[in-house]
Amino acid sequence: MAPEECYFNIPVLLISTTVSFLSVHSTIVEKPVFKWLSKQTGREQELQQQKLALKNEQSLLSMVDEFAKYSKLQRRINVIDRELEQIKGEKPTNSFVLQLGFTYGVKLVFALLLIVLSLYYRYTPVLYLGDKVNLMPFTNFICYPNEANYVSFYFWVMCCVTVARLI
C-alpha cells in the first residue's frame, strides 16, 4: 500500500546523486590525487631554492662587465636544471599513459559502481510522489520496475547524470 504523502528514501537519494555527479565530474577526484602524486620532494624544493638564489645573484651582475662570474653562475644553474629534469623524469606521474589510465580508470570505477548500485537498488524506489500526482503517459518509464508514482533508481540516476552534464 502506498503512503498518502510524498516521501524520500534519503540514503538511496544521496548515494545515487553523489555517485552520478562524480561519474560525470570525475576530475573532482582526479585533481587532488594527481596533485598529491606530483608533489615536490624535499630534494626538489631544495634545488629550486638554490636555483632561485643563483638566479637572483646572477641578476645583480652585469653580463658584459662580469662575464666570467655570470657564466660560472649560469653553469651552476644549468647543472641544477639537469638534476631537476632527471628527478622529474623518474617520477611515474609524468607518464602520459599513467595519467590517461588513471583518468579513465576513475571513470570506469564510478561507472561500475553505478551498475552495482543499479542492480542492488533496482526494486528500491528513490522517492514517492503521492497519489495526487499523475505521471501519465510516462508512468512506466519513470516507475519501472516499481509501482505507479514511485521514481525508480534507474530514472533518478539518469536524471542526475543528465543534470550533472548540463552543469
C-alpha grid cell, residue 21: 555527479
Domain ranges of the chain: 1-38+103-167, 39-90
Q: What pLDDT score was predicted for residue 151?
A: 80
Q: Which amino acid is at 25?
A: H
Q: What pLDDT score was predicted for residue 1?
A: 46
The 8-class DSSP code of residue 134 comes to: -
Other beta carbons less than 10 A from residue 34's beta carbon: 16
Blockwise average pLDDT, block size 10, the chain, 167 residues: 64 83 83 76 83 87 83 89 82 68 85 88 80 73 76 84 88
Sequential DSSP letters for 17-74: HHHHHHHH-THHHHHHHHHHHTPPPHHHHHHHHHHHHHHHHHHTS-TTTTHHHHHHHH
Distance CA 136, CA 141 (A): 10
Q: What pLDDT score was predicted for residue 94?
A: 57
Q: What are 132's strand-pairing partners?
A: none
Neighbour order of strands in the sheet with 7-8:
7-8, 127-128, 150-151
